[in-house]
Structure 1
Amino acid sequence: MTRHAEMTPHAEMSPRRDYHDAVRALNALQTNHQILQQIRESGGRLNEHSIPEMRAFAEKLGHRASDFDRLRVVHVAGTKGKGSTCAFAAAILGQHPRRLRVGLFTSPHLIEVRERIQIDGAPLAADRFARYFFQVYDGLRAADPPLRRVHAGSPDMPMYFRFLTLMALHAFLAEGVDVAVLEVGVGGEYDSTNVVERPVVCGIAPLGIDHQATLGATIEEIAWHKAGIIKQGVPVFSAPQPAAAMAVVEARAAARAAPLQVVAPLAAADPAAARGLGIPGDHQRTNAALAAALCRAWAARTGLDPGGDAWIAAGLARARWPGRTQRFASPRLPRLAWLVDGAHTPESMAACARWFAAARDPPARCVLLFNAASERDAARLLDALHAAAGAAAGAAVPWAAAVFCPNAHAARADSTNHTVAVDAELRPQKAAAAHWAALAACPAAVLPSIPAAVRHIEAEAEAAAGPTCVLATGSLHLVGGVLDVAKGSL
């Protein structure tokens, strides 16, 4: 039993503190851009304290790290598709004949932060989110028991993502879930989700170059971090990887005596794919296959293998993952179709482009809405998008216009982002717009926020003679803002 069952001063939420209060307090824990810069300049050494600090925070709340083993965790790392893999896995486990209670922790959120912590396919209700938030928040702020200091510079409170990880684990224990599917935030070795010591099974989705500032500049360095979730003797399943990355994964698995199996993409004839995939896109066959392998292994290792593929097929068909290869019609303008995908690496951008080329409606005018994150090479992403879309369409996609904007979306506190300096947000948008204008030979505008960009596109679409098809991509933060402003929901 955890301490919070007995912590009467903090266990019950004050009636004056609701979900919005929780979001405001959570936003105050965000890592600002100066701290991120310190981590980068340290070569990642500051992150080496992450897991010991997470254990100390858990202990203050009355949780031993070993308590999290009761959640029978499926732990997934990767560069591309780890979130989709987790969504598939949670959906599959939700179709298990035993009617399992399934927890899912992912990031980032699209519209509301409570999306990150789901149970049985639904985000935590606002009142439950607030309850668990303040149980953790008040418990960590309490003077008794004192926090065990890992080193002289240990913080008194975990930062944003670490706090949410701790809160998710706390909530899953309180809710009595039968299984928790955890998506790594960044990397793996020092990621806060790696506080779980004995997952039932681990998965590594496709790897690529991303987050070089914190993970390293080479695929080998990045693979080392991602493979850090591998545990002693725990089976690990991997999607096919570049040779250099696979060599690192194999070495880390061997060092920890963890059986490693590489999973091929799901074939159309596979019985598990009999009912199709709930998340569209050919590249999702890789993520679906990995999820199916993880769930089969989980069922076998927990003594809950129902046999057959019916539950796997049902889960793959029912899976949903908003903001990834998602299409919706504008509720205000029937002639305007939005195609949104949170691609943010060259490989995922190419997959997004192929999906868009197949899903768009010729002869609709094509418009690009893009966010160039400061950490990423926008030119490489745009080059990948332009080339792959043209190759998939058999000819250059006739882009009519493009709009670039930062992830500014002040309508919701959930969307507040203190991790980027404000004055730096427009610079990459202007550079990306100039690059795309030359590449696609179309006008490219830069606007100050997501709402301004959406309204601009809607006005242009309303004035156009025919239908308009918009591809919004470049970051999940952008996609979440578009879903909120242009659609009003997930």
Structure 2
Amino acid sequence: MPPPATATAPTECIDSRTYESAVHDLNSLQSNYQTLQQIKESGGQLNEYSLPEFEAFIEKTGHTVTDLNRLNVIHITGTKGKGSTCAFVDSVLRQTGKLKVGLYTSPHLIEVRERIRINGEPLSREAFGKYFYQVYDKIRASKPELRKVHEGSPDMPMYFRFLTLMAFHAFLAEGVDVAVVEVGVGGQYDSTNVIRQPVVCGIASLGLDHQAALGATIDQIAWHKAGIIKPRVPVFTVSQPHDALNVIRQRAEKCSAPLQVVTPLPDTQELGIPGIHQRTNAALASALCHTFSQRTGHVISATCIADGLRLAQWPGRSQRFVSPRNPKLTWFVDGAHTIESISACAQWFASLDHPSRCLLLFNPAKGRESKELLATLLEVTGECQWIGAVFCPNVSVSRADSINKNMPEDADLAIQHDAAQVWESLQPSSSAPAAAKHIVPSINRAVELIESKYADAPLHVLVTGSMHLVGGVLDIAKGSI
């Protein structure tokens, strides 16, 4: 098992107290991937320490868990759609024009500061650096024995937990009226679950993901997700697999928390985020905002809800853009990485009008099964004319923010070779030329290959399989989100 994360002195090779130095020091912290591996190897024992440890870190920054109640949190978890639901909620709340709205989500696409937003805007580079070092310095200056939960407790929280701590600190410092908080992984033991009195909770669509940490079955995963339910706090969810919904009901009843299952919004409601599956996420967001209004007294009119849903944006999900370098090339990006989300992504892509040439740029997120993902994608997009596929690891040479803290730090192409073989095996046997396949070592090379080899005629490129891949493509091929 890797040693616990320790606090190291801030880097001396980068100008101190800048956004760049903050990103450098953040990247030096223990990664999410390492933490999930530790939990797996400990048989879940480390889960029991996660929230007590996080509470200790909150105290080291000069706050208390009770202080978080001032944030009026809307807490949202799920497997598919939790990020989009957060985006819808954030957009609706901002339509009132009277609320200062904090939004905490993950992962980021291009710059890490995207994860912490106030009134729709990411923290400025200056603010990110300021709040980062306020938290970092207070933890480093605290006595190691202060609230030491167990002998192996880390001196510094790992990457995601640090950002969660920093988000809470920034929201308190900025005096937000409401904080929309997305769970990282699971719910029960997630660092965001340190929140004891949210205003309302939401559980988006559930499916199989992070099985090593959450369990192999849908009911086990549902138990973790439903861990965000709090005593007598209203909770909303969407249509779920039978076993999952039973678990959610049981946990809600145990907490005396009123539970309601919402139904998708009708086609008459215009949504800013495309995809038929977004009608379910928008319905969940509407219910959360309505209940927030009832419980806090902040007026959110029907017009605010309708406008918020219509104006919502969530880059990297069902997003399309024309290449700024070649008008013949159109990119379609969606960070889908589970069977359920890949199916929804494929339905969105298949519903659009395409030229005679479509190309796939794919990276299977770590631990996901390429065969199932690609088989689902090809089945749903059966009418599309695929001329080839490009496979690459989540490696980008663009910026430090692009370092993927959810995967081991290697650029092993073995996973890409496996995915390419799966792609080849799934191609229909016919007399037509086989769809080409390419394996390249980085996202940069993938974009270069597509632009140089395939963009001489109208081409639609679908980018999916990993949110980190989508972020890299947006950065390299578009230059922004």
TM-score range, shorter chain: over 0.9
Deviation per CA, 1:164-203: give whole Å up to 9, x if none.
0000000000001000000000000000000111000000
Separation in 2, partners of 1:407, 1:438: 23
Q: Hey, what does 1:292 align to over in structure 2?
A: 286
Residue 423 of structure 1 and its aligned partner are, at CA, apart by 4.9
CA distance in 1, matches of 2:327, 2:189: 47
Q: Which residue of 2 aligns with 1:224?
A: 223
CA offset digits 1:438-463 (Å, max 9, x no partner): 2134121111110011100111123x
Whether 1:401 and 2:395 are equivalent positions in the alignment is: no
* 1:202 alignment counterpart: 201
Q: 1:477 is matched with which residue? A: 468
RMSD: 1.7
Report if aligned partners of 2:32, 2:160 keep a CA contact under 8 Å in 1: no
* Residue in 1 that maps onto 2:191: 192
**1:106-125 superposed matches below 5 A:** 106-125=105-124
Structure-2 separation of matches of 1:249 and 1:427: 39
Alpha-carbon contact 1:353-1:388 (below 8 Å) kept: yes
Paired residue for 1:354? 347
**Offset of residue 374 of structure 1:** 2.6
After superposition, give the CA deviation of every residue in 1:301-328 in whole Å (9 maximum; x if it has no partner).
001234x410100100111100000000
| 1:359 alignment partner, SS class | coil
- Trace 1:18-417 onto structure 2 (pairs within 5 A): 18-31=18-31, 33-96=33-96, 99-143=98-142, 147-269=146-268, 273=269, 276-306=270-300, 308-363=301-356, 365-390=357-382, 395=383, 397-417=384-404
**1:436 aligns to what?**
423
Contact 2:60 2:142 in 1 (8 A): no
Alignment partners' CA distance in 2, 1:325 and 1:35: 30
Q: Is the CA contact 2:76–2:201 (under 8 Å) kept in the aligned structure 1?
A: yes
Deviations 1:219-259 (A, max 9, x none): 00000000000001100000110111000000000010000
Q: Indicate if the aligned counterparts of 2:395 and 2:411 stay in contact, CA closer than 8 A.
A: no
Range moving further from structure 2, 158-167 or 25-34:
25-34
How many Å apart are 1:45 and its aligned residue?
Answer: 2.0
Cα deviations across residues 413-439 of structure 1 (Å, max 9, x unaligned)?
011135433457322111111111221
2:88 aligns to what SS in structure 1? helix
TM (norm. structure 2) is 0.93
Q: What amino acid is the match of 2:469?
A: L
Distance in 2 separating the partners of 1:370 and 1:423: 17
Which amino acid is the alignment partner of residue 90 of structure 1? D
2:112 and 2:17 map into 1 onto residues whose CA distance is 16
Which amino acid letter does the alignment assign opposite residue 293 of structure 1? Answer: A
- Over 3 Å counting, the alpha-carbon distance change for 1:134 and 1:34 in structure 2 is closer
Contact 1:88/1:288 (8 A) holds in 2: yes
CA displacement at 1:143 relative to structure 2: 3.5
Of the three residues 447, 451, 464, the one matched with 1:458 is 451
Given that 2:334 and 2:464 are in contact with CA atoms closer than 8 Å, whether structure 1 keeps it comes out as yes
Residue-by-residue CA offset, 1:145-169 (whole Å, 9 max, x unaligned): 9531011111110000000000000
Amino acid at match of 1:385: L
Structure 1 residue matching 2:351: 3-state secondary structure: helix
Could you tell which deviates more after superposition, 415-424 or 375-384?
Answer: 415-424
Q: Give the 4+ runs in structure 1 shifted more than 4 A.
A: 32-35
Give structure 1 stretches of 5+ with no counterpart. 1-9
Once residues 286 and 391 of structure 2 are traced to their aligned partners in structure 1, the CA distance between those partners, rounded to angstroms, is: 37
Partner SS for 1:59: helix
**Residues 34 and 298 from structure 1, CA distance in 2 versus in 1: closer, same or farther, beyond 3 angstroms?**
closer
Secondary structure in structure 2 of the residue aligned to 1:111: coil
Alpha-carbon separation, structure 1, partners of 2:176 and 2:415: 43
Aligned to 1:7: none
Q: Is this contact kept in 2: 1:30–1:419, CA < 8 A?
A: no
1:432 and 1:294, CA in 2 relative to 1: closer, same or farther beyond 3 A?
Answer: same
Which residue of 1 is the match for residue 3 of structure 2? none
Q: Residue 430 of structure 2 aligns with which residue?
A: none
Answer yes or no: is the 8 Å Cα contact 1:147–1:156 preserved in 2: no
Task: Tell me which amino acid in the other structure corresponds to 2:364.
Answer: A
What is the identity, as a one-letter code, of the residue corresponding to 1:415? S
Name the % identity.
60
Matches of 1:36 and 1:434, distance apart in 2: 28
Distance 1:123 1:415 in 2: 16
Maintained 8 Å contact 1:360/1:469: no
Task: Give secondary structure in 1 for the equivalent of 2:274.
Answer: coil
8 A Cα contact 2:396 2:442, kept in partner: yes
For residues 53 and 16 of structure 1, do their structure 2 counterparts lie closer, same or farther at Cα, with a shift above 3 Å needed? same
- Work out the CA distance in 2 between the residues paired with 1:47 and 1:343: 27
SS of 1:445's partner is strand
| TM, length-normalised to structure 1 | 0.92
- Further displaced range: 288-297 or 143-152: 143-152
Unpaired runs of 5+ residues, structure 2, are 1-9, 428-433
Checking the alignment, whether the CA contact within 8 Å between 1:79 and 1:205 is kept in structure 2 is yes
How far apart, in 1, do the equivalents of 2:303 and 2:129 lie? 37
- The CA deviation at 1:34 is 4.7
- Which residue identity does 2:324 align to in structure 1? P
